[in-house]
């Protein structure tokens, strides 16, 4: 392609970015201006991507981790003619970013929000707002590329792997999650991962030397990365060579360090804070367009030659590659029909037939089993039949019971087809990588102690925003973990997780509720799940005496009703006792005490508020009739949120502060979380 046409296309990216930010009077024009050649050269000559079908499974992934530079991506999507994708994954016969959407940058309901949002805009691979998240996701995507190739490729059919590119900033590399992600990627030798580091020396407060003086290249060499340096972001030949070097490098991920000048071409604001985080101003835009040789009085100018350049470049190259892939996959489907069918089932979001056939039923047992232990048994029974369910823990697999122990499970760090991961003590990096894996069709899970969701929360929040089916296996869920003390005892974490929109929080009360929790949550593909589990043993309830655990799927159910407690005016219970998790058995014991005194007590198990709230009003009324205002809830956590179930009269038995270091039994007695206390609160309510 002639150099002049390259420059025209690059400058069109720049002017679109400037005009969009100026029209919105909001945004970051400097980085798109500086990185236009970097992204252009990647998309035009190296990225394996078909604009006519941005859902092509074998496409390379491009992640704009510096999401504040969103106009760079939107300009690329517009000029490449990328098609829009519906929320249910269908490619539509319309552009993802028509020019009118560029003009509506950062406006309500536009496809060009301030930071790229997954599902809103075709060609956006992940939501990248908080810095570091995008590169964290890219590690999961690279893992997925390796795993899919190992699982499904066969001799003569190299169909399922792909490369992942992430464009990142100083901020991405300063954030702790970026360090965790880089360390993990180096350890796993992800040679299909390329980060392109925009070394522009600017952050919002000013020059990076205010807070950042490390030698980035040296740090990444220490992580086990291959490092390439490009001294000028405008040197297309050097960029081309760097991308080619990445593709030749085996056994290591690649970091390309690119020196750029933020706001490149801006006469007065080059390499300035203003060019980073604010509109340039009309006069500055005019002057900059003059430097670029573009019409100074035209807004949102897109020369036909620029769009044609993209059509002749990534459009034709990506379309040809996709067509060849389709032909080869048709041959693969004939040659390897079972593997093809399995892969297509995975992509559809469905589960294999009989996926739950080996979920165990647990016999009644007064001594019981910790829900973390029963979870490990059920996880293995399910994952054995769902080949794309894979994951691990942040160095806690023996405690979280997340190891997949069935034949053939393997370990990813030893073979790319392995399904067990050792994420190391990198909770945030783990959670970010899980998002990237889910974005590629896998069903990932990650485990740690519940208290360490403090370290995972930003990635959990983004999984909830993107509605990704990530499973968090969170053990040691209360003061019941005992001697480790208050630093490890999550008293406020249930409330914090329940406050997060779209996140299902499931706290099962015995082994059979654990089994039914898995049965309920695996078919859910549009939200993440926090499965909250105990360290201590929980009695396995006798389901011949109590209601079936299948009610778990509805989020809440009547576990034990008072004699004659039909829910009618005449047979309604005197009091309702509500419990979750390890405290469910306390509610049961309290009900038995009260029954001996002639009090009709109903016990409600409420393991998942979100699922219960989604039931119809009639069902919720049948479980928690409004006429019964005497209610007691028990949970070894703070009360926040329980008010909606307890009403104005209800009582709560739980925590009001942090825990302490002692054996679990001593702690429950010390903090008054006992069956006796639950029964006493019920009596006081009934005395009026």
The residues annotated as belonging to the active site are 427
Looking at the chain, the number of H-run helices and the number of E-run strands are 26, 22
Q: Quick check: 206 and 430 in contact, CB under 8 A?
A: no
- Measured CA distances, 68 to 60, 125, 172, 324, 517 (Å): 22, 15, 11, 36, 39
Look up residue 429 and give its two tokens: 């990096």
- Work out whether strand 193-199 and strand 164-168 pair parallel, antiparallel, or are unpaired: parallel
> Of 494, 496, 538, which Cα lies nearest the Cα of 513?
538
- Work out whether strand 651-653 and strand 443-449 pair parallel, antiparallel, or are unpaired: unpaired
Q: Quick check: 70 and 116 in contact, CB under 8 A?
A: yes
The DSSP letter of residue 154 is: B
Rounded distance between C-alpha atoms, residue 321 and residue 217, angstroms: 34
φ and ψ at 501, to 5 degrees? -60, 140
Q: Quick check: 331 and 338 in contact, CB under 8 A?
A: no
The alpha-carbon radius of gyration of the chain (Å, integer) is 28
> Of 537, 455, 559, 463, which Cα lies nearest the Cα of 503?
463
Rounded distance between C-alpha atoms, residue 595 and residue 486, angstroms: 36
- Work out whether strand 443-449 and strand 471-475 pair parallel, antiparallel, or are unpaired: parallel
Beta bridge partners of 506: 531
> Of 470, 473, 489, which Cα lies nearest the Cα of 399?
473
């Amino acid at each position: 392609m002639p150099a002049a046409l390259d420059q025209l296309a690059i400058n069109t990216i720049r002017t679109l970015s400037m005009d969009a930010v100026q029209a919105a009077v909001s945004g970051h024009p400097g980085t798109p201006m500086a990185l236009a050649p970097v992204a252009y050269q990647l998309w035009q000559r190296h990225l394996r991507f078909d604009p006519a079908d941005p859902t092509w499974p074998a496409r390379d992934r491009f992640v704009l981790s510096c999401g504040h530079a969103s106009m760079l991506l939107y300009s690329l999507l517009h000029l490449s003619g990328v098609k829009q994708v519906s929320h249910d994954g269908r490619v539509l016969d319309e552009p993802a970013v028509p020019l009118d959407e560029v003009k509506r940058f950062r406006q309500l309901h536009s496809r060009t929000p301030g930071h790229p949002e997954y599902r809103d805009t075709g060609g956006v691979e992940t939501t990248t707002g908080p810095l570091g998240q995008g590169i964290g996701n890219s590690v999961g995507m690279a893992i997925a590329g390796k795993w899919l190739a190992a699982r499904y490729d066969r001799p003569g059919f190299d169909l399922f792997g792909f490369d992942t590119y992430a464009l990142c900033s100083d901020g991405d590399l300063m954030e702790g999650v970026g360090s965790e992600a880089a360390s993990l990627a180096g350890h796993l030798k992800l040679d299909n991962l390329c980060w392109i580091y925009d070394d522009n020396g600017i952050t919002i407060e000013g020059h990076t030397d205010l807070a950042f003086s490390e030698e980035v290249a040296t740090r990444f060499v220490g992580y086990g990365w291959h490092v390439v340096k490009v001294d000028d972001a405008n040197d297309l030949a050097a960029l081309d060579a760097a991308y080619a070097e990445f593709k030749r490098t085996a056994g290591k991920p690649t970091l390309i360090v690119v020196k750029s000048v933020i706001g490149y071409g801006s006469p007065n604001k080059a390499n300035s804070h203003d060019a980073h985080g604010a509109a340039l101003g009309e006069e500055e835009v005019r002057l900059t367009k003059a430097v670029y040789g573009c019409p100074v009085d035209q807004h949102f100018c897109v020369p036909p030659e620029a769009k044609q350049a993209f059509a002749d470049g990534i459009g034709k190259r990506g379309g040809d590659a996709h067509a060849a892939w389709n032909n080869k996959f048709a041959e693969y489907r004939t040659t390897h029909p079972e593997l093809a069918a399995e892969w297509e089932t995975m992509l559809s979001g469905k589960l294999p037939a009989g996926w739950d056939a080996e979920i165990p039923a647990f016999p009644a047992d007064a001594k019981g089993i910790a829900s973390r232990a029963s979870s490990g048994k059920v996880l293995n029974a399910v994952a054995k039949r769902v080949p794309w369910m894979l994951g691990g823990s942040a160095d806690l697999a023996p405690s979280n019971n997340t190891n997949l122990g069935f034949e053939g499970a393997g370990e990813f760090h030893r073979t790319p087809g392995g399904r067990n991961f050792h994420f190391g003590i990198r909770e945030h990096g783990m959670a970010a990588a899980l998002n990237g894996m889910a974005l590629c069709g896998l069903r990932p899970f990650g485990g740690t102690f519940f208290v360490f969701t403090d370290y995972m929360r930003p990635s959990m929040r983004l999984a909830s925003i993107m509605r990704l089916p990530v499973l968090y296996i969170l053990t040691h869920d209360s003061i019941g973990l005992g001697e480790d003390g208050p630093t490890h005892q999550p008293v406020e974490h249930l409330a914090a997780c329940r406050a997060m929109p779209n996140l299902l929080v499931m706290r099962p009360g015995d082994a059979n509720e654990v089994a039914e929790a898995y049965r309920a949550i695996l078919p859910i593909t549009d939200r993440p799940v926090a499965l909250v589990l105990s360290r201590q043993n929980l009695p396995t309830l006798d389901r011949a005496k109590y209601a079936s655990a299948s009610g778990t799927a509805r989020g809440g159910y009547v576990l034990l009703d008072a004699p004659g407690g039909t829910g009618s005016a005449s047979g309604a219970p005197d009091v309702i006792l509500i419990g979750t998790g390890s405290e469910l058995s306390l509610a049961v014991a309290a009900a038995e005490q009260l029954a001996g005194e002639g009090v009709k007590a109903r016990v409600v198990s409420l393991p998942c508020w979100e699922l219960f709230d989604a039931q119809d009003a009639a069902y919720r009324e049948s479980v928690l009739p409004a006429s019964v205002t005497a209610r007691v809830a028990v949970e070894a956590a703070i009360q926040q949120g329980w008010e909606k179930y307890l009403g104005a009269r209800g009582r709560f038995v739980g925590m009001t502060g942090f825990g302490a270091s002692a054996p679990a039994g001593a702690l429950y007695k010390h903090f008054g979380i006992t069956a006796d206390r639950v029964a006493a609160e019920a009596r006081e309510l009934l005395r009026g």
